[in-house]
Structures are given as C-alpha cells and as structure tokens.
Structure 1
Amino acid sequence: MTFRSDTVRVAVVGTGAIARHGHLPALAALAAEQPLEVVAACDVDAGSVAAFCREAGVPHAYTDHDLMLAERRPDLVVLCTPPRFHRDQTVAALRAGAWVWCEKPPCPSLADFDAMEAAEGAGPGPGPYAAIVFQHRFGSGARHVGRLLARGALGRPLVAHCQTTWYRDADYYAVPWRGRWDTEGGGTSMGHGIHQMDLLLDLLGPWEEIRAMAGRLVHDVETEDVSTALVRFAGGALATVVNSVLSPDEVSRVRIDCERATVELTHLYGYGNADWRITPAPGVDPEEAARWRDFGPDEPSSHLAQLRGLLADLRAGRRPRGSGPDGRKSLELVTALYKSAFTGAAVRAGDIGPGDPFHTSLHGGTPGWAPATASSPAAIPSPAAAGGTAAAREEAAR
C-alpha cells in the first residue's frame, strides 16, 4: 500500500457545486463500500467551507491549502477549484505525498500540465499520481464499445462525429473566472467539449492531424463560444468535432461508423447503457449483432465509476487512468485545436512543445484572441493558499 493506513483519507479542495453534487455523493457511496474518510475540506470562502463541512459531516474546515496538507496529511486530494489554481494545488499535494483527482479542465496550458506531471512520484513508494476527471470513459457503455473496437468486432473505424452543443447564457459568464484565458484556460472547446473529445480519443486511439476554426459569436468573453474541427486518426478514421454553448437544443453525441456497424452515443451530461445504439451493416449475422447489443449490467458514466477505479489503483500503487500521458492527450488535442483555429494551419500530434507560444497559453498570443491587457488582480483571488473561489459555488456539474 502507498498510504499510511487501511483507511484512505480524503480532502476536498473547493466546496462549490461540483464538489457538492458530483464528488461528495461519490465519496459517500464509496465510504459505504470500503475504508474511506473525508477528513477535511478547504475553500477561500470560510462560510462556504464551514457549511460544506457541517452538511457533509467533515470534521475539519480550512481556508489555507498548504496548512490543510500539513495538518491533515490526506492520502487523496480532490480538486474542485477553477482551472487557474490546479497547477499549484496539484504540485503542492503531490509534494505532500497525496494522490490528486483534479476536475477538468485539467489546467490552462500544456506547460502547466507538464509541471504537474513532473511533480508525480514525490512519495517514497509508487506515486503519488494526479488523475483528471474524465468520467465519461468509465461507464459500462464505453467499456463495452471499447472492447468491441479493440478486438475488431465492428471492423475498422472509418468516420466519426463528436458533438458537444450546449447552451450557456450571460448569467453563466457573469462568474468572474469564466470566459477568460488566464483563469479558465479556454472556452467551450476546453471547458465543455473536452469530455466528448476525451471519450472519442479513448475509443479511437491516437490522433495525427487537426484542422479547426473558432468563433466568438454571441458572448462578450475573451475565449471562443463555438469551434469546429476535422481530425485524422492514426488508424485512418476521419472525424468532425463541434463544440458550442450557443445551442438551445442541447446534446452530447459521439458517433463512429465502422466497416461492420455504426455505434452512436446520444446523451447530455452523462449516459447509461440505453443511450448507446449499435446499427449493424447489411449482411452482419443477427446473432452476432445481438451479442454486440448486450452491454451487460448498467454502470452509468459518473464520478463514482471513475473514483472507484482510482481508489483501487491507489491501494495497489499503480498509475490510474487519466493521469500522465493518458491524461495529457486530451489537453494536447484541445491545444492543437486552438492553434489550428488561430493560425489557419493544420497541426500534427506532437507539434506543440516548449518554445511554442501555444504550449504556455491556449491563445498563443494571437492578435484578436489574446487578452489586450493584464488581468485585474481584484477580479480573481490570488492562488496563494487558495482552496477555491466563492464563485466556484455556482459551478454546475457540467
């Protein structure tokens, strides 16, 4: 074991809506299955963290992240803060010997992610590791389809579509850290579409090339509110990607047309087995198609599904899914989408590294997209000793 006792000691950092409605129920469910205790919570808003601890029965409330790490020495830190704080808070937790489960978007740039990855292995044994919340990989539907694709049962993937068309109004962007490069990292591609894009990568494997466009069509923000892209995968499949917060008829969709069948997932913020559809090509044996459609017991995509696997990895001392290169791949694709959209050029996997302006910021300093002036320090709290922001309480479990 890589932690100090049989009971995994968890600290929640950031006590907004995603912590309350996404992470806390998952932690409570798992505490009923295995030795696990939420020992502390942290937020810069003292009232928010006090209420969170009171309602959830968490014994220790903090407004100082470093003090919480030193005094409570958690085995796992769950980060539910805005993306701006993820790098520093992840590095601090790893150096304190804690594993990290970090909400998406993982951080505002590949440079930040590389710093987080470099801090892994700070403990005396295997790990600690930092994993990103990509819960859509972990439903039973994705597992079943992933196995079918991996063993070639559906034939070679040929054409794919990845769609995140949601709707967000002006009140959503009234939260100070949203829609800004320095605090959110990116717009709808980064903050919303990354979930379906991550699932597409998990199913289809490595990508090779992307060509993209982005627009700021409605909202008065620094980042984009719509993007489109064409992606070529290493296996030859071609995919379209659409991300939007301008779409009243909200839907999330992944569709993959293979030689022998079409697989389609249609949902909004999470799926079950019933949200998947497999349509066989003409000539496929009906009994074989029936086996494809047998998804087995239903485990919906959720924080619970991913956290259960993460805890098993922590106890075994092995790298969890969504960490290291496996966690970086979706951020790399999103970064390449922005570079292609803002430069008008195709971007290939592996092109963006140290020295590339897009490695340190998703806008890459592009005129018309990069911020015209430095961010106001009064608008966003300093990350020093921060556990979150008051605005994070309004964050939806998107």
Structure 2
Amino acid sequence: MVGTGGIADGRHLPALDAAPDVAVVAAVDIDVERARECAAKWRIPQSYTDVQTMLDNESPDLVVVCTPPALHRDQSIAALRAGAWVLCEKPPCRSLAEYDEITAAEGEAGPYAAFVFQHRFGSGAEHAKALISQGTLGTPYVALCQTTWFRDDAYYAVPWRGRWDTEGGGPAMGHGIHQVDLLLDLMDDWVEVRAMAGRLARDVETEDVSTALVRFSSGAMGSVVNSVLSPQQASKIRVDLTEATVELSHVYGYTNADWTYTPAKHVTAERVAEWGEPATDETGSHAGQLASLLADMRAGRRPRCSGADGRSSLEFTSAMYKAAVTGRPVFAGEIVAGDPFYTDPSGGRTDWSFPSAPAEQP
C-alpha cells in the first residue's frame, strides 16, 4: 500500500483485508509515523518511507497506489519494472503523456497497471451495460452526466489540490471523472467534445465548474457537468434510448435501487420483464474492482480499466480542457505527442484562462 491517507484507510485496506488469499506485506508513506500507524492498525508487518526500498525488499505481486496524482506515474512505473501489477487511484495521472509512459512500462503478458474506476463494477452498472450494448433497449439518443459536489476552501487548503502541476486539473479531473468513466463504459465511443470551464468561487489554479457537449460514434449526443460549488450534491447519469430511459442517481456510491428504467410508451410489460434484474446487489465499490483485478492477475490477462480501456476517460477530460481553452471542438484521437495538451491538460499555460463572451454582442 503506497500512500496511507483517507482513501487507503477507508476503501482499499478494508477491501484488501477482506479479500481471500491476500496479505498486505508493507505500507509506504513519506510520513514515517503515519506509515507505522497504518501498519499497526491493519496488522501489516513492514512500513517504509521509500517506494523503491519497499520494492527491493518485499517483491510484492501487487502495488496499490493512493498518493497525489503527481506521483502516480513514477510510482506505477517503478512497481511495473519491479514485476508488480498496479492498482492506481484516479485520476490515473496528470496527462495522456504520463499515461502512455505507464503503459509502455507494462510487459506484453503483464504486469499491468489498472486504474480505480470502481463505479463500473457494481451489479447495476453491469446490468445496464449489458442491456445497452446488446441493443435490448434500442438505439441511444441522449446522455446526461452530472457530478455536482461541494468542496469548501478548507478542502483546497491541502497544498496539492487545485493545481495543474500536482493534481492535473479541477473537478473534471479529480471528481467528475468517476461518472464520466461510467458513462463512457455504458455508451459507444465518443468522437467530439465542446466545452466551457470557469473559476467562479474557489482560490485555485484550475477550474471549479465545467460543462461539455459530446457526440458519440452512434450519433447520440450528451452533456457533462462538473462542479465543486453545489450545496445539493448529486451524481447522475441518464441515457435515453428507443425503448427506455435509464437513470442512475446517487452521490458517492450506488445500489441496484438507485437505477431506474422507464419504458417508452410502446413497450409492453412483457418486454420490460424480459429486461430482468441484476442477480446480485453489488455496489460500485473498490472491493468489487479489486476482486475483478485479482481474478485477472491469477488468469494472467489484462484487467479492465487498464491500457486503452483505462485511458478513455482521461482522453475525454483532456479533450474537454482543450475545448474549453481553445473555444473549438476537439475530436477523439486529436491529442497526440506534439500537442501541448498531451503533456499538460492546461495546455502548458502558467496563467490559465477561459474564453469569455465580449461585453457587448453585435
């Protein structure tokens, strides 16, 4: 376990502790006392302040990375080169260039680096994905994706938050990427994005609100809203198809009850019954993604949320930032080596600003 803060203690370590045939052998943190306290609480035999020393001494099968985003690339690459698989918290890293460096360090048959997009792994999401991808609910037309959360000034007092060089972006990168990843997993490939972003209330370098319009390869269109200024917090996805509207409404995690299917008027009750229900009621949790990853490790196959599959939401977010800065549409596959947004989602601007309408319209 690399990084022993709140997400490690509250999500990853409980999942690892409950997983069969798994032993956590070391905790790593630059704060020596915090590493020791974590090790004592979770009955971990060793604690370290340096990742490479831990890798040399322990030779772990899996390294779970729960550090700030600026550290993800180097720590993930070090683990891969040591022969360990990686499960890295979101966002995967700060840029597409860093992501491609991580995947370049993978072996042809592993080890692989997977990234934490746990909302894909709930039974409700898997059921919805199956119905949509199999065409049972018809053709998708409209998609809505909303992450409207609230983070106050005290939240951004943590030095690495709200900065391009340490966090890689604002709520689109650090918060809304969860719901965006789930939306992209439910839909077909995105092909075009247009966006706006603003810094309205928080004393940060990045945005605190963003909106985007997206077109998918099927022709379906969607909108994405990310905010950390919303007193009433919500995480929502809605997909309107020929046969039904599929909706998910929650905040930080869902059960089957948070998914709603509204059939179109022409759909009979018999056809609705054929849609079925999930066989289990699994939340979209870290434990669910860990179980899937462990199964993939044992089978020696590439896990979900790795490689091209893990890159899609990062590419979308980078494209959204580029669209917001340039004021023009950005297309899938456009951001490649040589593009300033490939190495830095801010486009390399030290004074990041957003296009604004002129004071007087003609």
TM-score bin, normalised by smaller chain: over 0.9
Instruction: Report how far residue 336 of structure 1 moved.
Output: 0.1
Q: Name 1:117's counterpart in structure 2.
A: 103
Instruction: Report how far residue 152 of structure 1 moved.
Output: 0.7
In structure 1, give the amino acid aligned to 2:5: G
Are the counterparts in 2 of residues 186 and 224 from structure 1 also a CA contact under 8 Å? Answer: yes
- Classify the secondary structure of the residue corresponding to 1:179: coil
Match of 2:11 among 22, 27, 35: 22
Give deviations 1:308-347, integer Å, cap 9, x for gaps: 0000000010000000110111100000000000000100
1:141 lines up with 2:124 in the alignment? yes
In structure 2, give the amino acid aligned to 1:260: E
| Aligned counterparts of 2:79 and 2:14: Cα–Cα separation in 1 | 22
Instruction: Report how far residue 293 of structure 1 moved.
Output: 5.2
| Aligned counterparts of 2:277 and 2:50: Cα–Cα separation in 1 | 49
Q: Name 2:339's counterpart in structure 1.
A: 356
Match of 2:156 among 173, 189, 202: 173
Q: Name 1:82's counterpart in structure 2.
A: 68
Instruction: Report how far residue 352 of structure 1 moved.
Output: 0.3
In structure 2, give the amino acid aligned to 1:97: G
Q: Name 1:325's counterpart in structure 2.
A: 308
What is the 5 A alignment of 1:32-51? Answer: 34-51=20-37
- Classify the secondary structure of the residue corresponding to 2:25: strand
1:211 lines up with 2:194 in the alignment? yes
- Classify the secondary structure of the residue corresponding to 2:224: strand
Q: Name 1:390's counterpart in structure 2.
A: none
Instruction: Report how far residue 368 of structure 1 moved.
Output: 3.5
TM-score, structure 1 length as denominator?
A: 0.88
Instruction: Give the paired residue count.
Output: 353
Q: Output the aligned Cα RMSD.
A: 1.0
Instruction: Report how far residue 27 of structure 1 moved.
Output: 0.6
| Aligned counterparts of 2:121 and 2:188: Cα–Cα separation in 1 | 16
Instruction: Report how far residue 201 of structure 1 moved.
Output: 0.4
What is the 5 A alignment of 1:253-292? Answer: 253-292=236-275
| Aligned counterparts of 1:134 and 1:239: Cα–Cα separation in 2 | 20
Q: Name 1:387's counterpart in structure 2.
A: none
| Aligned counterparts of 2:345 and 2:154: Cα–Cα separation in 1 | 24
| Aligned counterparts of 2:274 and 2:152: Cα–Cα separation in 1 | 43
Are the counterparts in 2 of residues 342 and 366 from structure 1 also a CA contact under 8 Å? Answer: no
| Aligned counterparts of 1:262 and 1:17: Cα–Cα separation in 2 | 36
Q: Name 1:93's counterpart in structure 2.
A: 79
- Classify the secondary structure of the residue corresponding to 1:37: coil
| Aligned counterparts of 1:320 and 1:294: Cα–Cα separation in 2 | 25
| Aligned counterparts of 1:139 and 1:108: Cα–Cα separation in 2 | 26
Q: Name 1:378's counterpart in structure 2.
A: none
Q: Higher relative contact order by CA 8 Å / sep ≥ 6: 1 or 2?
A: 1
In structure 1, give the amino acid aligned to 2:230: S
Are the counterparts in 2 of residues 278 and 293 from structure 1 also a CA contact under 8 Å? Answer: no
Instruction: Report how far residue 290 of structure 1 moved.
Output: 2.9
- Classify the secondary structure of the residue corresponding to 1:35: coil
| Aligned counterparts of 1:272 and 1:284: Cα–Cα separation in 2 | 25
| Aligned counterparts of 2:270 and 2:251: Cα–Cα separation in 1 | 31
Match of 1:158 among 121, 141, 146: 141
What is the 5 A alignment of 1:186-335? Answer: 186-292=169-275, 294-335=277-318
In structure 1, give the amino acid aligned to 2:187: L
In structure 2, give the amino acid aligned to 1:36: V
Gaps of 5+ in 2: 354-362
| Aligned counterparts of 2:70 and 2:95: Cα–Cα separation in 1 | 10
| Aligned counterparts of 1:267 and 1:291: Cα–Cα separation in 2 | 26
Are the counterparts in 2 of residues 117 and 324 from structure 1 also a CA contact under 8 Å? Answer: yes
Instruction: Report how far residue 88 of structure 1 moved.
Output: 0.3
| Aligned counterparts of 1:275 and 1:167: Cα–Cα separation in 2 | 21
Are the counterparts in 2 of residues 165 and 245 from structure 1 also a CA contact under 8 Å? Answer: yes
Give deviations 1:227-282, integer Å, cap 9, x for gaps: 00000001111000000000000000000000010000000011110000000000
Cα pair distance change 1:367/1:38, threshold 3 Å: closer
Give deviations 1:123-177, integer Å, cap 9, x for gaps: xxx2000000000000000100011011111100000100000000000000000
Instruction: Report how far residue 367 of structure 1 moved.
Output: 6.4
| Aligned counterparts of 1:199 and 1:236: Cα–Cα separation in 2 | 19
Are the counterparts in 2 of residues 163 and 252 from structure 1 also a CA contact under 8 Å? Answer: yes
Instruction: Report how far residue 285 of structure 1 moved.
Output: 1.3
Gaps of 5+ in 1: 1-11, 371-398
Q: Identity, % of aligned pairs?
A: 62
- Classify the secondary structure of the residue corresponding to 1:38: coil
| Aligned counterparts of 2:142 and 2:305: Cα–Cα separation in 1 | 25
Match of 2:55 among 69, 72, 75: 69
